[in-house]
Amino acid sequence: MPDPAIVPISPTLPTLPAPPAHLLCVVAARPNLMKMAPILAALARQAPTLRVTLLHTGQHYDPAMSGQVFADLGMRAPDIALGVGSGNHAQQTAEIMRRFDAVLGELQPAPGAVLVVGDVNSTLACALVAAKRGTPVIHVEAGLRSGDRRMPEEINRVLTDQLSDLLLTSEEGARANLLREGIAPERIHFTGNVMIDSLRQQLPRATPPAATLRTHGHACPGAYGLLTLHRPSNVDDGAQLAALLQALGQLSSQLPLLFPVHPRTRASLRQAGLESLLARHAITCLPPLGYLEMLGLMQAARLVLTDSGGIQEESTALGVPCLTLRDNTERPVTVAEGTNTIAGTDPATIVALARAILDTGGKRGRIPPLWDGHAAERIAAAIVPWLAARRALP
């Protein structure tokens, strides 16, 4: 007769509930925040038990370039800050990898995936560390290509996509780029442009241009163009920067220009002795602005002149004519369907194209497919079951 004090052991152990899935999300630069904020909100709505850790590498460390944007977007502070700071491409990428590797090795529970956005050095560095550790990588804004391997961002885009397990695209042409590079079609999902989610959500809160100018001690012109320059190819060479500014100064006699100056550009202006050149023209220099200030200036501009990829997208969404001061773009849909025109960097061409826009009103374009303010919902709807399926694997 069995001893009643002894409980027989079941031949099968009870199934214990799996710990909640864990997703590590990486941001690094100002445009990353505009993409990540709606994704975090959508994940919280669709998968409230999903553990999401937000890591900021510190690649953009100036408060105006990053910290203010957190506040403007109502975004929670990062859980982890690497504080990497500046450096050349090799130094910065290596330091991000070193610090991120230590964090990824210590996080418990280990993340089921690392989510990266865009094409900055941090995007590639964190994707490379995750892939070498066997942690799946999710890339938001995959498949964008300029075809110009001289651009560091193009190298970052191509390599990040090769390392990624789930690739979420913002425009239809990105899929063809990825398939051509050997990415399996089942790994690609067209989810739309999540940066436009932030734009649509925050547009009612955009700061009026007069208020922005008043804050910085300037009167707001009745009509103006908005200028941004920060690409190394445009600002690191003093002669190239001087030629661009001469052309823009010529244009400013017809249309005053507002110029929020990127820290990199500010340093180049000083080094090349070009600050006095700006003072001779109707170009109002401003410090780096918050997201809501930039949104207000862009919405009311007659024309945008930029070398920024994100601003090409935002001006298309706002229906504002845009001249891209580069020889190519990784966002061709903004040219084919939107308001963007590739102007290149020849001064005479830039002035001629800008004056044609002022005379005719410029391209109005149309909003590309799935730039509808709901991309984050589609991104979350792709990620959540994908994570669940991976956790179910033996």
Alpha carbon distances (Å) from 328 to 289, 306, 324, 342, 356: 26, 12, 8, 7, 20
pTM attached to this predicted model: 0.91
User: Which tokens go with 140?
Assistant: 């938001």
Of 105, 141, 84, 118, nearest to 24 by C-alpha is 105
Beta strands across the sheet bearing 51-56: 80-81, 51-56, 22-27, 113-117, 137-142, 166-169, 188-190
pLDDT tens across the length of the chain (394 residues): 444 443 333 344 444 445 568 999 999 988 999 999 999 999 999 999 999 999 999 976 565 556 688 889 999 999 999 998 877 889 999 999 999 999 999 999 999 999 999 999 999 999 999 999 999 999 999 999 999 999 999 999 999 999 999 999 999 999 999 999 999 999 999 999 999 999 999 999 999 999 999 999 999 998 999 999 998 889 998 999 999 999 999 999 999 999 999 988 999 999 999 988 888 899 999 999 999 999 999 999 999 999 999 999 999 999 999 999 999 999 999 999 999 999 999 999 999 999 999 999 998 899 999 999 999 999 999 999 999 998 865 5
Rounded Cα distance, 66 and 288, in Å? 10
Burial degree of 36 (CB within 10 A; 0-12, 13-18, 19+) = buried
Domain ranges for the chain, please list them. Answer: 22-192+372-391, 207-360
The dihedral over CA atoms of 386, 391, 393, 394, expressed in degrees to the nearest 10, equals 170
What is the predicted pLDDT for the residue at 5? 41
What is the full DSSP assignment across 331-363?
-THHHHTSSEEE--S-HHHHHHHHHHHHHH---
Residues 6+ apart with CB under 8 A from 289: 64, 212, 260, 297
Choose the CATH number for 207-360 among 3.40.50.300, 3.40.50.2000, 3.30.70.20, 3.40.1180.10: 3.40.50.2000
Kindly report the three-state secondary structure assignment for every residue of 140-201: EEECCCCCCCCCHHHHHHHHHHHHCCEEEECCCHHHHHHHHCCCCHHHEEECCCCHHHHHHH
Q: What are phi and psi of 7, to 5 degrees?
A: -90, 120
How is residue 91 written in tokens? 């130094």
CA 100 to chain centre: 20
Q: Do domains 22-192+372-391 and 207-360 have the same CATH topology?
A: yes
Q: What residues contact residue 48 under an 8 Å CB cut-off, 6+ apart?
A: none
Count CB-CB contacts under 10 A for residue 65: 19
Residues annotated as part of the active site: 230
Superfamily holding 22-192+372-391: Glycogen Phosphorylase B; (3.40.50.2000)
